[in-house]
Amino acid sequence: MPDENYKIRKMLGSEVDMAIELAAQEGWNPGLHDSECFYKTDPAGFLIGVLNDQPIGCISAVSYENNFGFIGLYIVKPVFRRLGYGIRLFQAALQQLEGHSIGLDGVIEQERNYMKFGFQTAYRNRRFEGLIPELPRRSSPEIVSLNNISFSKVNEYDRQCFPSERSAFLTRWISMPDSTALGLIEQDNLKGFGVVRQCYHGYKIGPLFADNSEVAETIYLGLVSRIPAGLPVYLDIPDPNSQASVLVQKFNLREVFATVRMYSRGEPHIDLDKVYGVTTFELG
Protein backbone atom coordinates (compact mmCIF):
# COMPACT_ATOMS: atom_id res chain seq x y z
CA MET A 1 0.00 0.00 0.00
CA PRO A 2 1.19 3.55 -0.67
CA ASP A 3 2.86 5.41 2.17
CA GLU A 4 0.55 7.61 4.25
CA ASN A 5 2.85 10.50 3.41
CA TYR A 6 1.80 10.21 -0.23
CA LYS A 7 -0.43 13.10 -1.31
CA ILE A 8 -2.12 13.96 -4.59
CA ARG A 9 -2.84 17.59 -5.39
CA LYS A 10 -3.41 19.88 -8.33
CA MET A 11 -0.26 20.81 -10.20
CA LEU A 12 1.04 24.37 -10.21
CA GLY A 13 1.73 25.92 -13.58
CA SER A 14 5.45 25.93 -12.76
CA GLU A 15 5.34 22.14 -12.21
CA VAL A 16 4.04 21.18 -15.65
CA ASP A 17 7.58 21.34 -17.04
CA MET A 18 8.42 18.51 -14.64
CA ALA A 19 5.65 16.39 -16.13
CA ILE A 20 6.87 17.13 -19.65
CA GLU A 21 10.41 16.19 -18.63
CA LEU A 22 9.17 12.87 -17.23
CA ALA A 23 7.40 12.27 -20.53
CA ALA A 24 10.67 12.96 -22.36
CA GLN A 25 12.48 10.48 -20.12
CA GLU A 26 9.86 7.87 -21.05
CA GLY A 27 10.71 8.41 -24.71
CA TRP A 28 7.38 10.06 -25.56
CA ASN A 29 9.19 13.01 -27.16
CA PRO A 30 6.92 15.94 -26.18
CA GLY A 31 7.06 19.32 -27.86
CA LEU A 32 9.39 22.03 -26.58
CA HIS A 33 6.45 24.33 -25.77
CA ASP A 34 3.75 21.82 -24.84
CA SER A 35 3.63 22.65 -21.13
CA GLU A 36 2.19 26.16 -21.36
CA CYS A 37 -0.33 25.19 -24.02
CA PHE A 38 -1.43 22.11 -22.07
CA TYR A 39 -1.79 23.85 -18.72
CA LYS A 40 -3.76 26.82 -19.99
CA THR A 41 -6.27 24.50 -21.61
CA ASP A 42 -7.47 23.43 -18.15
CA PRO A 43 -5.34 24.60 -15.19
CA ALA A 44 -7.33 22.36 -12.82
CA GLY A 45 -6.71 19.28 -14.95
CA PHE A 46 -3.13 18.43 -13.94
CA LEU A 47 -2.38 16.35 -10.85
CA ILE A 48 0.87 15.54 -9.10
CA GLY A 49 1.70 12.75 -6.68
CA VAL A 50 4.00 13.84 -3.86
CA LEU A 51 5.76 11.53 -1.39
CA ASN A 52 7.48 13.15 1.58
CA ASP A 53 7.29 16.49 -0.27
CA GLN A 54 9.01 15.04 -3.35
CA PRO A 55 7.11 14.70 -6.66
CA ILE A 56 7.10 11.08 -7.83
CA GLY A 57 4.31 11.01 -10.43
CA CYS A 58 1.83 12.96 -12.49
CA ILE A 59 -1.29 12.67 -14.62
CA SER A 60 -3.47 15.01 -16.66
CA ALA A 61 -7.26 14.90 -16.62
CA VAL A 62 -8.25 17.74 -18.92
CA SER A 63 -11.89 18.72 -19.28
CA TYR A 64 -13.31 20.04 -22.54
CA GLU A 65 -16.64 21.85 -22.23
CA ASN A 66 -17.33 19.95 -18.97
CA ASN A 67 -18.53 16.93 -20.94
CA PHE A 68 -15.52 15.27 -22.57
CA GLY A 69 -12.25 14.60 -20.78
CA PHE A 70 -8.90 13.19 -21.76
CA ILE A 71 -6.37 11.46 -19.51
CA GLY A 72 -2.68 11.63 -20.36
CA LEU A 73 0.80 12.24 -18.96
CA TYR A 74 0.25 9.27 -16.64
CA ILE A 75 3.74 8.65 -15.30
CA VAL A 76 5.26 7.39 -12.05
CA LYS A 77 9.02 7.51 -11.60
CA PRO A 78 10.40 4.00 -12.17
CA VAL A 79 11.63 3.38 -8.62
CA PHE A 80 8.10 4.00 -7.26
CA ARG A 81 6.19 1.78 -9.69
CA ARG A 82 4.14 -1.28 -8.67
CA LEU A 83 3.71 0.15 -5.17
CA GLY A 84 0.18 1.51 -5.55
CA TYR A 85 1.09 5.15 -6.14
CA GLY A 86 0.13 5.13 -9.80
CA ILE A 87 -3.29 3.58 -9.32
CA ARG A 88 -4.17 6.29 -6.83
CA LEU A 89 -3.16 8.91 -9.38
CA PHE A 90 -5.39 7.27 -11.98
CA GLN A 91 -8.32 7.08 -9.55
CA ALA A 92 -7.85 10.77 -8.75
CA ALA A 93 -7.95 11.57 -12.47
CA LEU A 94 -11.20 9.63 -12.87
CA GLN A 95 -12.67 11.51 -9.92
CA GLN A 96 -11.54 14.78 -11.46
CA LEU A 97 -13.49 13.90 -14.64
CA GLU A 98 -16.56 12.43 -12.96
CA GLY A 99 -19.59 12.84 -15.22
CA HIS A 100 -17.49 13.13 -18.38
CA SER A 101 -17.07 10.81 -21.29
CA ILE A 102 -13.32 10.11 -21.08
CA GLY A 103 -10.73 9.17 -23.66
CA LEU A 104 -7.10 8.11 -23.34
CA ASP A 105 -4.20 6.75 -25.38
CA GLY A 106 -2.69 3.95 -23.34
CA VAL A 107 0.37 1.84 -23.91
CA ILE A 108 -0.62 -1.56 -25.27
CA GLU A 109 0.63 -3.39 -22.16
CA GLN A 110 -1.86 -1.52 -19.95
CA GLU A 111 -4.96 -2.14 -22.08
CA ARG A 112 -6.41 -4.82 -19.77
CA ASN A 113 -5.84 -2.65 -16.70
CA TYR A 114 -7.81 0.22 -18.25
CA MET A 115 -10.60 -2.22 -19.07
CA LYS A 116 -10.94 -2.92 -15.35
CA PHE A 117 -12.00 0.71 -14.95
CA GLY A 118 -14.66 0.43 -17.64
CA PHE A 119 -12.68 1.70 -20.62
CA GLN A 120 -13.38 0.07 -23.98
CA THR A 121 -10.93 -0.21 -26.85
CA ALA A 122 -11.82 1.79 -29.95
CA TYR A 123 -8.74 1.40 -32.17
CA ARG A 124 -4.98 1.75 -32.22
CA ASN A 125 -2.94 4.82 -33.02
CA ARG A 126 0.48 4.19 -34.52
CA ARG A 127 3.47 6.51 -34.50
CA PHE A 128 5.62 6.69 -37.63
CA GLU A 129 9.07 8.20 -38.03
CA GLY A 130 11.07 9.32 -41.03
CA LEU A 131 13.91 11.65 -41.93
CA ILE A 132 12.98 14.97 -43.46
CA PRO A 133 14.21 15.05 -47.06
CA GLU A 134 15.64 18.05 -48.86
CA LEU A 135 12.54 19.77 -50.20
CA PRO A 136 11.92 23.14 -51.82
CA ARG A 137 9.65 25.30 -49.70
CA ARG A 138 6.14 24.42 -50.79
CA SER A 139 3.97 27.41 -51.54
CA SER A 140 0.77 27.81 -53.51
CA PRO A 141 -2.31 30.03 -53.43
CA GLU A 142 -4.17 27.22 -51.67
CA ILE A 143 -1.67 26.58 -48.85
CA VAL A 144 -1.73 29.43 -46.34
CA SER A 145 -0.73 30.10 -42.76
CA LEU A 146 -3.55 29.45 -40.30
CA ASN A 147 -2.92 32.99 -39.05
CA ASN A 148 -4.47 34.15 -42.32
CA ILE A 149 -7.57 32.00 -41.96
CA SER A 150 -10.56 32.88 -39.83
CA PHE A 151 -10.22 31.02 -36.53
CA SER A 152 -13.91 30.18 -36.65
CA LYS A 153 -13.24 28.13 -39.81
CA VAL A 154 -10.34 26.32 -38.16
CA ASN A 155 -12.37 25.65 -35.04
CA GLU A 156 -15.33 24.40 -37.06
CA TYR A 157 -13.12 21.99 -39.00
CA ASP A 158 -11.44 20.78 -35.81
CA ARG A 159 -14.84 20.00 -34.31
CA GLN A 160 -15.41 17.38 -37.04
CA CYS A 161 -12.29 15.55 -35.91
CA PHE A 162 -12.38 15.87 -32.11
CA PRO A 163 -15.12 14.82 -29.68
CA SER A 164 -15.61 18.27 -28.13
CA GLU A 165 -15.14 21.98 -28.78
CA ARG A 166 -11.59 22.95 -27.72
CA SER A 167 -10.97 26.49 -28.87
CA ALA A 168 -9.00 27.38 -25.70
CA PHE A 169 -6.50 24.67 -26.58
CA LEU A 170 -6.55 25.21 -30.32
CA THR A 171 -5.82 28.94 -30.30
CA ARG A 172 -2.57 28.28 -28.45
CA TRP A 173 -1.66 25.08 -30.28
CA ILE A 174 -1.70 26.66 -33.74
CA SER A 175 0.40 29.65 -32.66
CA MET A 176 3.03 28.16 -30.32
CA PRO A 177 6.71 29.06 -30.83
CA ASP A 178 8.91 26.83 -33.03
CA SER A 179 5.94 25.58 -34.99
CA THR A 180 4.20 26.04 -38.33
CA ALA A 181 0.45 25.79 -38.89
CA LEU A 182 -0.93 25.58 -42.43
CA GLY A 183 -4.33 25.20 -44.00
CA LEU A 184 -5.55 24.44 -47.50
CA ILE A 185 -8.20 26.78 -48.86
CA GLU A 186 -10.30 25.96 -51.92
CA GLN A 187 -12.98 28.41 -53.09
CA ASP A 188 -12.87 30.07 -49.67
CA ASN A 189 -13.51 26.72 -47.93
CA LEU A 190 -11.03 25.16 -45.51
CA LYS A 191 -10.29 21.65 -46.77
CA GLY A 192 -7.85 20.69 -44.03
CA PHE A 193 -5.07 21.92 -41.76
CA GLY A 194 -1.98 20.73 -39.96
CA VAL A 195 0.60 21.77 -37.38
CA VAL A 196 4.25 20.78 -37.08
CA ARG A 197 6.15 21.60 -33.88
CA GLN A 198 9.69 21.14 -32.65
CA CYS A 199 10.08 18.40 -30.06
CA TYR A 200 12.85 17.14 -27.81
CA HIS A 201 13.90 15.01 -30.79
CA GLY A 202 13.02 16.24 -34.26
CA TYR A 203 9.53 17.43 -35.15
CA LYS A 204 5.98 16.13 -34.82
CA ILE A 205 3.06 16.73 -37.11
CA GLY A 206 -0.25 16.88 -35.30
CA PRO A 207 -2.96 17.39 -36.04
CA LEU A 208 -3.16 16.60 -39.72
CA PHE A 209 -6.82 16.86 -40.71
CA ALA A 210 -7.95 16.76 -44.32
CA ASP A 211 -10.95 16.12 -46.53
CA ASN A 212 -9.10 13.50 -48.53
CA SER A 213 -5.67 11.96 -49.16
CA GLU A 214 -4.69 14.52 -51.79
CA VAL A 215 -5.30 17.41 -49.40
CA ALA A 216 -3.50 15.55 -46.59
CA GLU A 217 -0.45 14.96 -48.78
CA THR A 218 -0.33 18.60 -49.89
CA ILE A 219 -0.45 19.86 -46.30
CA TYR A 220 2.08 17.23 -45.16
CA LEU A 221 4.56 18.33 -47.83
CA GLY A 222 3.95 21.98 -46.98
CA LEU A 223 4.76 21.31 -43.33
CA VAL A 224 7.89 19.20 -43.84
CA SER A 225 9.26 21.68 -46.39
CA ARG A 226 9.40 24.25 -43.60
CA ILE A 227 11.60 22.26 -41.20
CA PRO A 228 15.30 21.37 -41.42
CA ALA A 229 16.25 18.49 -43.69
CA GLY A 230 17.92 15.46 -42.13
CA LEU A 231 16.01 15.60 -38.84
CA PRO A 232 13.34 13.05 -37.84
CA VAL A 233 9.66 13.82 -38.27
CA TYR A 234 6.85 11.93 -36.53
CA LEU A 235 3.21 11.39 -37.43
CA ASP A 236 0.63 9.53 -35.30
CA ILE A 237 -2.11 7.94 -37.38
CA PRO A 238 -5.36 6.19 -36.39
CA ASP A 239 -5.75 2.65 -37.74
CA PRO A 240 -9.31 3.16 -39.04
CA ASN A 241 -8.08 5.70 -41.62
CA SER A 242 -6.58 3.41 -44.25
CA GLN A 243 -5.52 6.38 -46.40
CA ALA A 244 -3.31 7.62 -43.56
CA SER A 245 -1.45 4.30 -43.79
CA VAL A 246 -1.00 4.88 -47.52
CA LEU A 247 0.43 8.33 -46.78
CA VAL A 248 3.12 7.11 -44.37
CA GLN A 249 4.08 4.28 -46.73
CA LYS A 250 4.41 6.70 -49.62
CA PHE A 251 6.94 8.79 -47.70
CA ASN A 252 8.82 5.79 -46.28
CA LEU A 253 7.96 6.40 -42.63
CA ARG A 254 8.44 3.44 -40.29
CA GLU A 255 6.34 2.47 -37.29
CA VAL A 256 8.09 3.05 -33.97
CA PHE A 257 5.34 3.05 -31.33
CA ALA A 258 1.66 2.33 -30.82
CA THR A 259 -1.08 3.20 -28.36
CA VAL A 260 -4.59 1.98 -27.83
CA ARG A 261 -7.32 4.62 -27.95
CA MET A 262 -9.96 3.83 -25.34
CA TYR A 263 -13.14 5.51 -24.15
CA SER A 264 -15.18 5.20 -20.97
CA ARG A 265 -18.61 5.64 -22.57
CA GLY A 266 -18.21 4.27 -26.05
CA GLU A 267 -16.53 5.74 -29.09
CA PRO A 268 -17.67 9.32 -29.80
CA HIS A 269 -18.77 10.35 -33.27
CA ILE A 270 -15.92 12.02 -35.14
CA ASP A 271 -14.93 11.79 -38.79
CA LEU A 272 -11.86 9.55 -38.54
CA ASP A 273 -11.56 9.52 -42.33
CA LYS A 274 -10.39 13.13 -41.99
CA VAL A 275 -7.86 12.35 -39.24
CA TYR A 276 -4.50 11.75 -40.93
CA GLY A 277 -2.57 12.74 -37.83
CA VAL A 278 -3.57 12.74 -34.14
CA THR A 279 -3.07 16.07 -32.39
CA THR A 280 -1.34 14.73 -29.29
CA PHE A 281 -1.42 11.54 -27.20
CA GLU A 282 -1.42 13.69 -24.03
CA LEU A 283 -4.53 15.82 -24.61
CA GLY A 284 -6.27 13.99 -27.42
Provide the residue type at 193 as one letter: F
Percent of the chain exceeding pLDDT 70 equals: 96
Prediction pTM value? 0.95
Q: Which of 277, 78, 46 is nearest to 181 (CA)?
A: 277
How far apart are alpha carbons 96 and 25 in whole angstroms? 26
**pLDDT tens for each residue of 224-268:** 999 999 999 999 999 999 999 999 999 999 999 999 999 999 999
Percent of the chain exceeding pLDDT 90 equals: 93
**pLDDT tens for each residue of 33-78:** 999 999 999 999 999 999 998 999 999 999 999 999 999 999 999 9
| pLDDT, position 138 | 59
Residues facing 59 on adjacent strands? 47
Please check the confidence at residue 1 and state whether its pLDDT lies above 70.
no
pLDDT class for 223, splitting at 50, 70, 90?
very high
Q: Which of 123, 133, 281, 76 is nearest to 199 (CA)?
A: 281
How far apart are alpha carbons 199 and 260 in whole angstroms? 22
Please check the confidence at residue 80 and state whether its pLDDT lies above 60.
yes
**pLDDT tens for each residue of 154-184:** 999 999 999 999 999 999 999 999 999 999 9
Residues facing 76 on adjacent strands? 57
How far apart are alpha carbons 228 and 211 in whole angstroms? 27
Sign of CA dihedral 209, 213, 218, 131: positive
How far apart are alpha carbons 92 and 115 in whole angstroms? 17
Note whether 222 and 67 are within 8 A (CB).
no
Note whether 226 and 68 are within 8 A (CB).
no
pLDDT class for 21, splitting at 50, 70, 90?
very high
| Domains detected in the chain | 6-122 (3.40.630.30), 128-277 (3.40.630.90)
- Mark out the alpha helices in the chain (DSSP H runs): 16-25, 34-41, 85-96, 111-115, 151-161, 167-173, 213-224, 242-250
**pLDDT tens for each residue of 118-158:** 999 999 999 999 998 876 665 666 899 999 999 999 999 99
